[in-house]
Structure 1
Amino acid sequence: MFTAITIRRNPDRLRYEVLDGDTVIGQAAYIDDGGTHRIFYHTVIDEDFGGQGLASRLAAQALDDTVAAGLKIVPVCPYIKKYLASHTQYAASVQVPTPALLGVLNSALTQRARR
């Protein structure tokens, strides 16, 4: 069972993390375009912790934080897309992925893979 579930933004790793105590058990990975967009491309919760609403809590905090920072949400991740479809309060802050934004994502991921 849970120790103490917390959610935090880890800007060094470009992700929001779900922690059980000090152990990362889930994440929502993103890339910022250096301007006004935060591109969410992957969300995962450790299968041992699935079905407990943690992905929803993670998405809510990540999206609330993104809006509070004045950034547009760019949903590439299937989970974030699904979450946004049923949480319309974010609609004004959502930017549909464009070829340019997908290019930013692809370039950033390629650079990370080379490290």
Structure 2
Amino acid sequence: MSEQICHKADIMAIHDAMDLLSGKWKISILSCMCYYSTRRFSEIISDLDGISNKQLSKELKELEMNKLVKRTVLDTQPVTVQYNLTEYGWTLQDLIHDLAAWGAKHREMIMAG
């Protein structure tokens, strides 16, 4: 394997990405959005075991602020709110699929002993 020089700019970029995506729920929320193009708040809650309404609301606001998730309020009775990935948010799809594949391989390796 060839040795690659780690540049300070690369480290900073990784730090920025991890700062945005870190925490217990952000990757899970984004994963949910990748597999289902549009989700309501209640659907996301049911997809993610253990997240509270307050925490999901906070995480969605942060993802929206960072232009990864779009919130749409529909004019229905009662009001319906839908969430979906922005075009920019969809750029994370390959990363999320790769992370899922790596996680599955890692689980197999750990279980094999």
Q: Indicate the TM-score class for this superposition, using the shorter chain for normalisation.
A: 0.3 to 0.5
Task: Determine which structure has more spread, i.e. the larger CA radius of gyration.
Answer: 2
Structure (1 or 2) with the greater helix fraction: 2
Higher relative contact order (CA 8 A, sep 6+): 2
Q: Which has the higher strand share?
A: 1
TM-score using structure 2 length: 0.33
